[in-house]
Amino acid sequence: NKIPMKTLENGVKMPYLGLGVYKMTDHEEAIHAMTKALEVGYRAIDTAALYGNEEEVGEVIRASSIPREEIYITTKVWNSDQGYDNTLRAFEISLKKLGLEYIDLYLTHWPVKEKFVETYRAIERLYEEKLIRVPGVSNHHQHHLEKIFVKANVKPMVNQIELHPYLSQKPLLNFCQDQTIAVTAWGPLGRGKIIEDTTIEQLSAKYNKTAAQIILRWHYQNDVITIPKSVTPSRIEENMNVFDFELTQEDMLAMEGLNKDFRTGQDPDHFQFDF
Ligand code: NAD
């Protein structure tokens, strides 16, 4: 029951599947969900300063008997903390809340205009100082990445974007893959809204897997990392059991055909930033 690892640009290995913890703000609920995930074999947790549960992430890691180096922790700098110095300060606070000595992956949460390049430069410095193992970004379009390439010594190694069968992001996915930037899908299940699709239901019957498993498997076969969120123990377990079957090429194409360029969240180019 092991989750396969994606080797990133610098050789660091990141689990192909982790637990997303957005909206897990209830202390007990968060602790239970994360503890369950580690018990069944998850080794990655995706949090953010915004989510308000970095303390819980730290608590769960310390309470487990799993060595720190076997767990992959992602957190993100929120929009109101961007810019070079602010990002360094925000990182210190996240590190303290998590109670960790280093973070595996640190991301710019959204590309705040005029600030995201400087924000990334601070993340790059944290990488040079070995306070993070991997530098990355989130919600960056190709044009944001290209602005970063001009100024950065080290390219972002991960871009975390909204991605699911109704928003397949083919051009951005191809661009990132060509640049050896690993793509993580947020909202990999379309935030629970696309589970009832007819094509996915047919595949579910064909493979004897749940709709969520079909979707997560499709991501994996596209070389995309996923971080599905659930606080329900049975679903936490269900979501990681996707590495024991394979969708045919034909069924992958059928899934590809579901794209509607449908966003559950905001477009990074028209984001209403919280200042
Ligand atoms: P998701 O696609 O993971 O959907 C989560 C919802 O799907 C759950 O609340 C639950 O209702 C349902 N669900 C989960 N497993 C299921 C199953 N097996 N069967 C049926 N329903 C199931 O959406 P998300 O939580 O928005 O995204 C996942 C993670 O991505 C977040 O927790 C967070 O860590 C990250 N995220 C990042 C950003 C960003 O801007 N970088 C934005 C949103 C989310």
How do residues 171-216 score in pLDDT, each as one tens digit?
999 999 999 999 999 999 999 877 789 999 999 999 999 999 999 9
- Residue 101 makes CB contacts below 8 A (sequence gap 6+) with 68, 95
Ramachandran region of residue 161, left (φ > 0), alpha (ψ -120 to 50) or beta? beta
Residue 231 carries which DSSP code?
-
Q: φ and ψ at 226, to 5 degrees?
A: -125, 155
How do residues 60-96 score in pLDDT, each as one tens digit?
999 999 999 999 999 999 999 999 999 999 999 999 9
* CB-ligand 1 contact for 228 (6 Å cutoff): yes
Nearest CA to 233 out of 25, 40, 3, 23 is that of 40
Tokens representing 154 are 């080290």
CA distance 18 to 6: 12
Domain limits, the chain: 12-263
Mean per-residue pLDDT, 134-143:
98
- Which residues are annotated binding-site positions for substrate? 109
Active-site residue set: 51
- Architecture label for domain 12-263: Alpha-Beta Barrel (3.20)
Q: How far is the CA of 94 from the centre of ligand 1 (A)?
A: 22
**3-state class (DSSP) for residue 167:** strand
pTM: 0.98
Atom 27 of ligand 1, residue of closest alpha carbon: 187
- Residue 210 makes CB contacts below 8 A (sequence gap 6+) with 204, 238
> Where do the H-state alpha helices sit in the chain?
27-40, 54-63, 84-98, 116-128, 142-151, 170-178, 198-207, 211-221, 233-240, 249-256
Question: What is the pLDDT confidence band of residue 273, given thresholds at 50, 70 and 90?
Answer: low
pLDDT of amino acid 274: 56
How much helix, strand and coil, in percent to the nearest 5, is found in the chain?
Answer: 45, 15, 40
